[in-house]
Amino acid sequence: MASDTTKTHPWHLVEPSPWPILAAVSAAVMAVGLIVFMHEDSPWLLILGLVLVMGVFTGWLRDVVAEAQGGIFHSELVQKGLRLGFVLFIVSEVMFFFAFFWAYFHSSLPILNNVAGTWPNGDLEAIGAGGIPMLNTLILLSSSVTVTIAHHAIIENDRPKAVRWTGITVLLGVIFLGFQIFEYAELILHSFTISDGIYPSTFYMATGFHGFHVLVGTIFLFVCFMRLRAGHFKAEQHVGFEAAAWYWHFVDVVWVFLYINVYFWGATGFLHLPAS
Amino acid sequence: MNRCRWMLTSLLFISAWLAASAGALAAGPKPWQMNFQEAATPVMEDIISFHNLLLVIEILIVLFVLGLMLVIIIKFNSKANPVPSKTTHNTLLEVVWTVVPIAILMVIAVPSMKLLFFMDKAKNPEMTLKITGHQWFWTYQYPDNGDFEFDSNIVDEEDLPKGGKRLLEVDERVVLPVNTEIRLLMTSDDVIHNWAVPSFGVKMDTVPGRTNESWIKVTKTGTFYGQCSELCGVNHGFMPIRVDVVTKAEFAKWAAAAKVKYAGIQTPPKTAASATAKAIKVAQAAARMPGAHVLKR
Amino acid sequence: MSDTAHAGTDGGHDHSPTGWRRWAYSTNHKDIGTLYLAIAVIAAVVGGAMSAMIRLELTQPGIQFIEDFQFYNMLVTAHGFVMVFFVVMPALIGGFGNWFVPLMIGTPDMAFPRMNNVSFWLLAAALVLLVASTFIAGGVGTGWTVYPPLSNADFHPGMAVDFGILSLHLAGASSILGAINLITTILNMRAPGMTLHRMPLFVWAMLITAFLLLMAIPVLAGALTMLLTDRNFGTAFFSPEGGGDPIFWQHLFWFFGHPEVYIMVIPAFGVISHIISTFSKKPIFGYLGMAYAMSAIGFVGFIVWAHHMYTVGFNVETRSYFVIATMVIAVPTGVKIFSWLATMWGGSIDFKTPMLYAMGFIFLFVAGGVTGITLANAGVDQAFHDTYFVVAHFHYVLSVATVFAIYGGIYYWLGKMSGRQYSEVQGRWQFWITFIGVNVLFFPQHFLGMAGMPRRIPDYPDAYAGWNMVSSIGGLITMLGAFMFLWILYRTLTAGAPAEDNPWGEGATTLEWTVPSPAPFHTHEVLPDTSDLQAAE
Ligand code: HEA
Ligand code: HEA
Ligand code: CUA
Ligand SMILES: [Cu+2]
């Protein structure tokens, strides 16, 4: 609120904003839309909610991006706060995935669920670790490298290099998603669907939410790509890019966990100890 | 000084309370009851005696805190003590109030573990009772006594016999022999229920897809009541349990008769069975549709 | 922000937004705190009305006025949800936290003011969805624990449970964002000189609470998501037919649910510490012990969840672990209780209304805490689980202790927030009525539980009539206290005497008492120097 010349503290007091209340209303529309979609098979309210949420989000982020320019609002301390806040957000995401990993272990480890059963359930076969999953692991791991190269380029104020490597990272994200869609399509063709019991439930839920996070991370990086081209980021002012990079690393780590546990151990039967 | 007196009074109070309720005769809750229902199994006896220990310790803790607060109110109000002290540390005190609770908890933990391991499973079960929860009745099965089974439903208020206990009486009672170590196996057909009889110290969830195990050894003949103890839908409050514990000889007689009586119910012609089962399912589905009328009251 | 937004507010330093925009678009921690308190009061009326209906139905054996038992189950469920998510959490965390964390650490606002506002509005949206769920398809009749299979599509086919799930999703998002905001503010924005070990205990409490929220709520979100897909997309997480396990839901729910109860009580601990210190005119005794005791409670709170599940059929080793782990929490809690007593010891105590509530808190929290120890022992819990003994336990720690902290906190800070002081006489009356009311209401429920009365039933065997009648009368008295509170609030806001900057005198030493009453729209724009604050050790 204090005008810039009289500022007596390093903090950023944000102007009143219509975005929060609009965001909440849109989220509520989306939630109700989802319910209507599930019960009445009519997707329109859900689509409206999605569009509203995306619109509000874009408007909101526009303001943030505008504030980040010019070095007035986003002082060094404010940047520190933004980074801390984003790390905390990632912590909450980790706990979200914790629930899905717990689901996987609870249903596959007799020692946790105390019920003798077979894993995978029914006469399903476990999905192997080779092929597409292995390829996707390589893609995601290398994209973590490329995003780090881009980050270093920003720190060295080498914009063309940063643009280039961010672009490559975005591409790798898209390729990953493409492969995952292909994998899903193949599985569904072999009638392995989410409603076929606990194994496909945990499989699709964990990999699906991961895939969604890859999508978000890719979009996030794409925004950074555009902002880099517009010259938004400098060596001392690129919280937005850092957040995207951290998010990308988080998505990568989750994938490594998924790959080891769901694809590798799950398929080798390593986890399937007999019930006591 | 003061503390001694509180201890004495509280002990007196508790023993008076326990004595007052010891005279109870038949099982089931009593008006204005302030204590457990009468114990009829070793497990429940142990629960009660362990709880007596807990109760004394806890009442002493509460009274100790209350006593300190009374002293504070009397001695350290702004009239009695206009100038506050500035003490904010006393290492000895801080150590004491960390260590003493730890010691108390250890005193609690030992009998707690003993009780827990004792109540866990039957050591030498002489017979088994299988219990299945349904919305909203129980099915009992006697695999060791001829493998008959029957359903046990609440008795509606209009049909209550004279002196019958509202919401606790059932049409077909569980009959069990006295002084017999009985293994209870529980499961459910639909949602989670919980088979609980306070006098037996038994409370165990019946979970679809699982078989849970508990045990009883009833040492007194008589009638014992319990209620479903896990929210299971509209009529959760209306699926009571009644157990009649009889002598072993009476039980043998009853079991022989029951085998005949329930046999017809057990093996009806196949098609008819599935037809009735289906009808029941439909009726249940209708009943649990929100807003629909409740099945029985 | 964008240039156009600047144009309207260039007027001057103290210019504040006006009209409905001030509230709807707010980025001011005090205004948002006020909004949170307002929604808490509204929700308390709703949740209180629901509890009144519950107690009315239970006044006597037989059916009083609720013929549809699904409606009764829905009432119990919604009462639990509303009180937990829309009264206690918003009042203590959103309300007091927003108002006083920035004031106490000497910073002009929260770290992310816009995000602060979206936290509030998401909560409001969640409340709308929850209220909607009560009107749809018979409502959510599952208890606030939402255990499947009862909550799955076979047994709750309507939309109600989905409304409930999405309501909790929104409330959860609100809490996570709020937690991020609090932690960032506290870790990053303290005034010069205010080290972590000089922070007021309320701020410590909010920091620990925020961490609990950050770690626990996402697990609930994951669980709710699985329940949603089980209900609507054919997954089998909780259904044995597909190889899933209904018990798994209980693990997830209580992995969130147990930390949740400390999320509700640790902020209350913070409020109580300030009140005790202020009215004893003494600094808090054993400050560091207090701060680390709360941390310990928060940490251990994550590894005790299955004490809510002693009767699901665990093996005995599992249960014995959870018994021991649960009882450990009594130790740090005892440290807090005794440190409060030691703070008062040697003090020069004024028994103003907030202090009465604080002392009531200590006494009745201990009473509720020791019954928690009873329940922690899996052996006796076999007798108490799912009886009114549990209901008595958790209302003593929640509806008595935590609500006392809310009442006490409002009396304590009302002058600072509104610029007007309540009437001491009225406040004391309201305390005593509430004190008597809650004890008459909840103490007899211990007896009912011992005698075996199950919870969540709309009608009970006739033998339980006596104490239920007493309990309902206590409920009436408690309601009277609540109405009186609303009246005092109204009188104070409309006609209260002007409050001094520091109405409590020498004992009130935290920074919020150095700013005017009511606290102006912007505070601490010149950062206070706190380096002369006494370090803790
Ligand atoms: C604010 C909320 C709150 C708080 C603080 C607590 C605190 C505690 N709770 Fe409670 N609890 C609930 C809210 C809360 N609870 C709710 C809502 C439920 C029911 C949920 C549902 O099913 O719907 C529940 C249920 C519940 C159960 C499950 C019962 C059942 O369903 O069968 C158990 C079992 O262990 C338990 C234990 C405890 C313990 C050990 C503590 C401890 O933290 C208490 C520690 C405090 C003290 C012990 C007193 C002070 C200490 C001293 C003076 C030191 C000396 C003391 C000793 C040496 C003992 N609680
Ligand atoms: C904080 C939580 C909270 C609070 C305050 C209360 C308050 C009350 N509750 Fe309860 N209750 C629960 C949490 C709470 N409850 C939960 C979690 C359950 C379990 C649900 C389930 O089984 O699923 C439950 C269940 C429950 C039952 C058991 C129902 C059953 O099992 O069948 C009963 C029965 O008597 C009951 C009664 C009451 C009564 C008479 C009050 C009275 O005290 C109400 C009177 C109080 C007021 C009218 C307002 C109080 C004021 C505030 C809260 C602060 C105001 C805010 C500001 C000033 C900002 N509640
Ligand atoms: Cu069956 Cu409750
Ligand atoms: Cu708990």
Q: Which of C142, C175, C371, C434 is catalytic?
A: C175
Q: Write down the pLDDT at residue C330.
A: 96
Q: For chain A, give me the number of helices (H) and strands (E)?
A: 9, 0
pLDDT at B159: 87
Higher pLDDT, C533 or A212: A212
Ligand 1 centroid from CA C393, angstroms: 7
> What is the pLDDT, as a whole number, of residue A274?
46
Q: Which residue has the tokens 């526009």?
A: A62
Q: DSSP class of residue C499?
A: P
Query: Which pLDDT does position A265 carry in this prediction?
Result: 80
- Most A CBs within 10 A among C30, C35, C175, C189, hence the mutation to make, goes to C189
Q: How confident is the model at residue B258 (pLDDT cuts 50, 70, 90)?
A: very high
C464 half-sphere exposure, CB direction, 13 A CA radius: 32
- CA neighbor of B65 nearest in space, from C401, C370, C393: C370
With tokens 């010691």, the residue in question is B103
The Cα–Cα gap between B194 and B189 comes to 12
Predicted confidence (pLDDT) per residue in B63-117, tens digit: 999 999 999 999 999 999 999 998 889 999 999 999 999 999 999 999 999 999 9
pLDDT for residue A122: 74
The interface predicted TM-score of the complex, written ipTM, equals 0.91
Which residues are CB-contacts of B123 (< 8 A; sequence separation ≥ 6)? Answer: B181
Best residue of C63, C377, C456 to probe chain B, by most B CBs closer than 10 Å: C377
| Alpha-helical segments (H) within B151-217 | none
- Given this model, what pLDDT does residue B12 score? 47
Q: Bridge partners of B175?
A: B244
Alpha-carbon span B223 to B156, nearest angstrom: 19
Set of chain C residues whose Cβ sits within 8 Å of the Cβ of A272: none
User: Average pLDDT for residues C433-443, to the nearest whole number?
Assistant: 97
Residue with CA at minimum distance from ligand 2 atom 21: C143
Q: What is the pLDDT of residue B291?
A: 33
Which chain A residues touch C247 with a CB distance below 8 Å? Answer: 113
C482 in contact with ligand 2, CB cutoff 6 A: yes
pLDDT at residue C199 is higher than 60: yes
Q: Which of A246-260, B195-209, B265-279 has the lowest mean pLDDT?
A: B265-279
Which numbered atom of ligand 2 lies nearest the CA of C77?
23
Residue type, A60: W
Residue A116 touches chain B, beta carbons under 8 Å: no
- Give the pLDDT score at B161: 85
For residue A269, the model assigns a pLDDT of: 59
Residues with CB under 5 A from ligand 4 (ion): C 258
Residues 100-139 of A with CB under 8 A from C: 100, 102-103, 106-107, 113-115, 117, 121-122
What domains does chain A contain, in order, with CATH numbers? 1-74 (1.10.287.70), 86-267 (1.20.120.80)
pLDDT at position C243, please?
Answer: 86
Residue C5 predicted with pLDDT over 50: no
By mean pLDDT, which of A47-61, B135-149, C4-18, C35-49 is the weakest? C4-18
Q: What is the DSSP string of A87-130?
A: HHHHHHHHHHHHHHHHHHHHHH-HHHH-----SSSTT--PPPSS
Q: How far apart are CA B160 and CA B242, in angstroms?
A: 14
pLDDT at B289 over 80: no
pLDDT at C532: 63
B9 pLDDT above the threshold of 60: no
CA distance C89 to chain A (A): 19
Of C187, C219, C242, which is closest to A84 when you measure between CB atoms? C187
**Ligand of minimum distance to the alpha carbon of C385:** 1
Nearest to C288 by CA among C191, C198, C206, C195: C198
CA C492 to ligand 2 center in whole angstroms: 26
State residue A68's pLDDT score. 82
DSSP alpha helices (H): ranges in B38-90?
42-75
The bridge status of strand B174-177 relative to strand B240-246 is parallel
- Residues of chain A predicted below pLDDT 50: 1-4, 273-276
Of the given ranges (B74-83, B91-100, C11-20, C130-139), which has the lowest mean pLDDT? C11-20
Contact flag A39-C162 (C-beta cutoff 8 Å): yes
C285:B37 CB<8 A: no
Give whole-number Cα distances, A94 to A82, C187, C400, in Å: 18, 21, 35
Residue B192 burial (C-beta neighbours within 10 Å; 0-12, 13-18, 19+): buried
Comparing CA positions, the residue from A225, A221, A230, A228 lying closest to residue A248 is A221
Alpha-carbon distance C225 to C169, whole Å?
8
Residue B268 has pLDDT above 50, yes or no: no
Quick count: other Cβ atoms within 10 Å of Cβ B92?
7
pLDDT at C530: 77
User: Which letter, b or e, does each residue of C380-408 get, where b requires 16 or more Cβ atoms within 10 Å of its Cβ?
Assistant: bbbbbbbbbbbbbbbbbbbbbbbbbbbbb
Alpha helices in C419-518 (DSSP H): 424-451, 465-495
Per the annotation, the verdict on C308 as an active-site residue is yes
Paired strand residues for C498: C420
Q: What is the mean pLDDT of residues C80-107?
A: 96
> What digits encode the pLDDT tens for the residues B28-37?
899 999 999 9
Ligand 1 pocket test target in C82, C300, C390 with most atoms within 8 Å of CB: C390
The catalytically annotated residue of C251, C281, C428, C455 is: C455
The pLDDT of residue A271 is 53
Q: What is the tally of helices (H) and strands (E) in chain B?
A: 5, 10
Task: Kindly report the average pLDDT of chain C as a whole number.
Answer: 93
- The C-alpha of A95 sits at a distance from chain B's nearest C-alpha, in angstroms, of 28
Tokens of C531: 């380096």
Query: Is the CB of C433 within 6 Å of ligand 2?
Result: no
**In the CATH scheme, what is the code of domain B2-82+89-120?**
1.10.287.90
Q: Is B271 on the interface with C (CB under 8 A)?
A: no
Q: With 90 as the cut, is the pLDDT of residue C114 above it?
A: yes
In the numeric block, the tokens 């005892």 are attached to C334
| Cβ(C143) – ligand 2 distance below 6 Å | yes
Q: What is the mean pLDDT of residues C503-510?
A: 90
Predicted pLDDT of residue C533:
62
Query: What pLDDT band is residue B285 in, cutting at 50, 70 and 90?
Result: very low
CATH code, residues B127-263: 2.60.40.420
Most confident option among B44-48, B118-122, C23-27: B44-48
| Residue C260 annotated among the catalytic residues of the structure | yes
Residues B177-197 have a mean pLDDT of 96
**Atom 6 in ligand 2: residue holding the nearest Cα:** C399
Per DSSP, the three-state class of A165 is helix
* Higher local confidence (pLDDT), B289 or C379: C379
Interface test with chain B among C64, C349, C364, C371, by most B beta carbons within 10 Å: C349
One of C55, C258, C319, C395 is an active-site residue; which one? C258
Rounded-to-integer distance, Cα C318 and Cα C214, Å: 27
Residue B278 corresponds to which amino acid? K
SS3 B195: strand
Q: Is the CB of C394 under 6 A from ligand 1?
A: yes
Whether A212 and chain C come into contact, CB under 8 Å, resolves to no
Q: Which two tokens stand for residue A52?
A: 């509203």
Q: Which residues contact B272 (CB under 8 A, 6 or more apart)?
A: none
Give the residue with greater pLDDT, C336 vs A8: C336
> Which chain A residues have a beta carbon less than 8 Å from that of C114?
14, 17, 19-20, 60
Residue A38 touches chain B, beta carbons under 8 Å: no
Select from A62, A96, A198 the Cβ nearest to the Cβ of C244.
A198
Contact C111 A81 (CB under 8 A): yes
Let me know if C169 is a catalytic residue: no
> Which ligand 2 atom is the nearest neighbour of the CA of C457?
32
CB B222 within 8 A of CB B174: no
Is C174 designated active site? yes
Question: Closest by alpha carbon to C84, among C123, C115, C135, C141?
Answer: C123
Q: What is the pLDDT of residue C534?
A: 54
Mean pLDDT computed over C221-248:
93
B150 - beta bridge partners? B140
DSSP C94-121: IIIIHHHHHHHHT-SS-S-HHHHHHHHH
Least confident of B153-167, C426-440, C441-455: B153-167
Whose C-alpha lies nearest to ligand 2, atom 16? Answer: C80
The number of the ligand 1 atom at minimal distance from the alpha carbon of C264 is 1
Tokens coding B52: 């007596």
- Measured in angstroms, how far is the CA atom of residue B173 from the centroid of ligand 3? 17
Any idea where the domains of chain B sit in the sequence?
2-82+89-120, 127-263
- Give, in order, the Cα–Cα distances in Å from C294 to each of B203, C298, C326, C335: 34, 6, 15, 10
pLDDT exceeding 90 applies to what percent of chain B?
70
